[in-house]
Amino acid sequence: MSNFTDFFPAASGGGGGIPKYQEFTSSGTFTPTQALIDAGGRVAYFIVGGGERGEIGVYGHGGAGGQVKMGYATLTSTTGCAVTIGSGGSGSNNAAGGASSIAFNSAGGTAVTANGGDGNALSSNNSSPGGHGHYWNAYMSASTSAGSGVLGYGIGGSAYSDVTFHGSGIETGGANTGHGSRGGENAGSGFVRITWFE
């Protein structure tokens, strides 16, 4: 396992670096500062795709949570990087969530994308690290619990409002959580946090 200062060398040496972060709850632009580039250009990112809307029916599906990605990028210029926040699934059963992304490639890094909940609550596409949706089959009385997501983001939704009877899962999507929703509710939109030292 690498040390924190391997990624952020300015953080070592008696407080030489100043911690900074920027959070996005809607699409925008991240513009690296010259101080960041001079300090090595290393940034950490936390990115969450939009959740999937659940389904109401005999075979009830909670929506899948959006994918969660964490990692590092090295930037080499102060060119602005587009940040896209994926929308939560809305309007119809199993509506997929939108992908969230950061165009780090604009500043010499590598673009990063976190997929949205994929429009099929039982799909494994976003079950790790995003949470799969809770499933309920009224005919066979079969049930699976919703996925737990990562650090409180990307949690799978409950098939119905009665989570005590129908299994674990969240009730509503919640803005900027990437949560899948219960049947009949819109899902949570995505989220991005970028952290660095300068």
Question: pLDDT tens, 9-29?
Answer: 555 444 457 889 999 999 999
Tokens of 94: 């199993």
Question: Is the pTM value of this prediction over 0.85?
Answer: no
Return the closest-CA partner of residue 123 out of 151, 140, 147, 101.
Answer: 147
Q: How far is CA 92 from CA 69, 130, 140, 150, 181, in A?
A: 27, 21, 25, 26, 12
| Predicted pLDDT of residue 143 | 53
| Predicted pLDDT of residue 166 | 47
